[in-house]
């Protein structure tokens, strides 16, 4: 299957082809790839795409172990209003 | 072992912008050393804002010139940086603030920045969704704005690499060697580099780097937290400021912003729920319709704060060690002008802006401090 048709990150529309291109351009670590392509920065917080990205990066770099990304709260998106304590000013 | 004309420590906006202007001035044999990935420090963690509404001549003039360069970057860099002049809308909560900001606007106007005081009805015209019940007006500058940090990093990286600058990431400086009172070489965990000039653009690591050369920089790191929302359709052009709170919408549709937690100096970069509670309350007070919008992610970065909240630029005891640090929360917006100033300083031995001469580390010895009154977030 054509790499340009394989969607890795659904929130940010990033394909396998774009990951390979970025890797060849010199974005060879997971954090740089993430920031260059915005992969894993959408509302799902990378829950689907980051494991796929790690696997792809392992294949491209020939390394067995790939460092994962730093996780940042909240675990899932939460409305602004939910953080406001009633009665507290 | 290799030799360079200029070695820059720090792959954030200071380092990349300095390399950009050095390359433009014909200095091509430049090395940037970054201990992590490019933009991994304060640049990539920042709130994206670019403003000229400051209170001192130094900050106003530097930022006035920096905005000109941001425009040049937007028009000339091949990779888009999403610089947008959506303005800074500084909401004023009472007559005391109004009086203060009238004075600031006067100073800004005298120095060529077209800011103005506007009524709360005019605030409504700029952002109809804003709650104007508890404000008396705003300080407004339509030429302030924002840019997207990682696109800026990419754009500068592509440019400087095409001009021959070498970038080494995931490489950490371990020590600095001096000879006859000058920097001679830099030793990293991977290699040793001889250089004619060394630039300290190490952000939150700048104090440590200066110490390696025997210099005590009077800066301290302060944690500041930020959050982004899920993407929304474009509706918010300016950066909105109210007290300690600031927020805007990025070109990716997300609301990005922060507020001050009034913490002491710290090396901690964790984020916490106390921040989200304060930030959410202030945001919803200011723009109530955001209440149902979801916060997607939060993180923290450092303000590297100097005693008078102004940058430390240029050299002092060691003539070939050039500082570019201590921006106190304004490093990203100052990036273009600081890069141009530092490159010119290396090339010509002086700053092309008189105001920059007031920003060397010498001011902490002579006591000629210049206090900035508006630091937000």
Q: Is the pLDDT of residue A89 over 70?
A: no
For residue A11, being part of any structural domain is answered with yes
- Sorted by where each starts, the structural domains of chain B and their CATH numbers stand as 2-48+150-219+307-366 (3.50.50.60), 84-143+224-301 (3.30.9.10)
Query: Is A45 domain-assigned?
Result: yes
Q: Please indicate, yes or no, whether the overall pTM of this predicted structure exceeds 0.90.
A: yes
Over chain B, what HEC string results?
CEEEEEEEECCCHHHHHHHHHHHHCCCCCEEEECCCCCCCCHHHHCCCEECCCCCCHHHHHHHHHHHHHHHHHHHHCCCCCCCECCCEEEEECCHHHHHHHHHHHHHHHHCCCCCEEECHHHHHHHCCCCCCCCCCEEEEECCCEECCHHHHHHHHHHHHHHCCCEEECCCCEEEEEEECCEEEEEEECCCEEEEEEEEECCHHHHHHHHHHCCCCCCCEEEEEEEEEECCCCCCCCCEEEECCEEEEECCCCCEEEECCCCCCCCCCCCCCHHHHHHHHHHHHHHCHHHHHCEEEEEEEEEEEECCCCCCEEECCCCCCEEEEECCCCCHHHHHHHHHHHHHHHHHHCCCCCHHHHHHCCCHHHHCCCCCCCCCCC
Give the domain CATH number at A58. Answer: 1.10.10.1100
Instruction: Give how far B217 is from chain A: nearest CA, Å.
Output: 30
Which among A79, A84, A85 is the nearest to B294, CB-wise?
Answer: A79
Is A78 in Cβ contact with B297 (below 8 Å)?
no
Q: Do residue A45 and residue B170 have CB atoms under 8 angstroms apart?
A: no
Instruction: Note down the domain range covering A15.
Output: 3-62
Between A60-74, B18-32, B117-131, B199-213, the lowest mean confidence (pLDDT) is in A60-74
**Do the domain assignments include residue A9?**
yes
Report the number of distinct structural domains present in chain A.
Answer: 1
Q: pLDDT band for A86, please (50, 70, 90 cuts).
A: low
pLDDT band at A85 (very low <50, low <70, confident <90, very high): confident
Q: Which residues does B contribute to its contact with A (CB < 8 Å)?
A: 36-40, 44, 150, 153-154, 169-170, 229-231, 252, 271, 273, 276-277, 279-281, 283-284, 290-299
B38 contacts on A by Cβ (under 8 Å): 32
pLDDT class for A88, splitting at 50, 70, 90? low
Prediction ipTM score: 0.91
Q: Give the H or E element holding residue A49.
A: helix A49-61
Task: Confirm whether A70 is domain-assigned.
Answer: no
Q: Please give the average per-residue pLDDT across B189-218, as a whole number.
A: 97
Half-sphere exposure of B44 (CA within 13 A, CB side): 19
Q: What is the pLDDT of residues B306-355, one digit of tens each?
A: 999 999 999 989 999 999 999 999 999 999 999 999 999 999 999 999 99
With respect to residue A87, please indicate whether it lies within any of the assigned structural domains. no
Residues A41-55 have pLDDT tens digits of: 999 889 999 999 999
């Amino acid at each position: 299957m054509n790499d340009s048709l394989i969607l890795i990150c659904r929130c940010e529309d990033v394909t396998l082809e774009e990951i390979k291109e970025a890797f060849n351009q010199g974005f060879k670590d997971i954090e740089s790839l993430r920031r260059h392509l915005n992969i894993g920065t959408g509302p799902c917080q990378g829950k689907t795409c980051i494991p796929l990205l790690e696997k792809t990066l392992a294949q491209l770099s020939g390394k067995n172990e790939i460092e994962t990304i730093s996780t940042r709260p909240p675990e899932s998106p939460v409305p602004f209003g939910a953080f406001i304590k009633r009665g507290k000013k | 072992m290799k030799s360079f004309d200029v070695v820059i420590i720090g792959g954030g906006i200071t380092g990349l912008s300095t390399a950009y202007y050095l390359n433009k001035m014909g200095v091509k044999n430049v090395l940037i050393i970054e201990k992590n990935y490019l933009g991994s420090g304060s640049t990539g963690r920042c709130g994206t804002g670019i403003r000229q509404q400051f209170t001192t001549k130094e900050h106003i003039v530097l930022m006035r010139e920096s905005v000109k360069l941001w425009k040049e970057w937007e028009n000339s860099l091949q990779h888009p940086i999403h610089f947008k002049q959506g303005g800074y809308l500084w909401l004023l909560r009472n007559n005391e603030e109004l009086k203060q900001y009238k004075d600031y606007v006067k100073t800004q106007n005298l120095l060529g920045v077209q800011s103005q005081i506007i009524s709360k009805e005019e605030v409504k015209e700029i952002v109809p969704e804003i709650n104007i019940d508890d404000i008396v007006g705003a300080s407004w500058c339509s030429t302030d704005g924002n840019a997207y940090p990682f696109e800026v990093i990419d754009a500068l990286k592509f440019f400087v690499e095409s001009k021959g600058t070498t970038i080494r990431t995931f490489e950490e400086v371990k020590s600095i060697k001096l000879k006859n009172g000058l920097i001679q070489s830099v030793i990293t965990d991977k290699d040793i580099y001889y250089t004619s000039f060394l630039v300290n653009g190490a952000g939150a690591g700048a104090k440590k780097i200066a110490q390696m050369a025997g210099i005590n920089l009077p800066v301290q790191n302060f944690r500041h937290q930020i959050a982004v929302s899920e993407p929304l359709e474009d509706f918010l052009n300016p950066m909105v400021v109210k007290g300690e709170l600031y927020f805007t919408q990025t070109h990716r549709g997300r609301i990005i912003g922060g507020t001050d937690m009034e913490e002491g100096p710290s090396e901690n970069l964790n984020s916490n729920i106390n921040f989200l509670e304060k930030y959410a309350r202030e945001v919803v007070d200011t723009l109530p319709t955001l209440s149902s919008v979801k916060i997607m992610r939060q993180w923290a970065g450092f303000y590297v704060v100097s005693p008078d909240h102004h940058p430390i630029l240029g050299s002092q005891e060691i003539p070939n060690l050039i500082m570019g640090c201590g921006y106190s929360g304004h490093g990203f917006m100052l990036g273009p002008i600081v890069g141009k100033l530092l490159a010119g300083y290396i090339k010509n031995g002086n700053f092309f802006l008189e105001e920059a001469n007031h920003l060397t580390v010498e001011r902490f010895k002579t006591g000629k401090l210049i206090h900035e009154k508006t630091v937000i977030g």
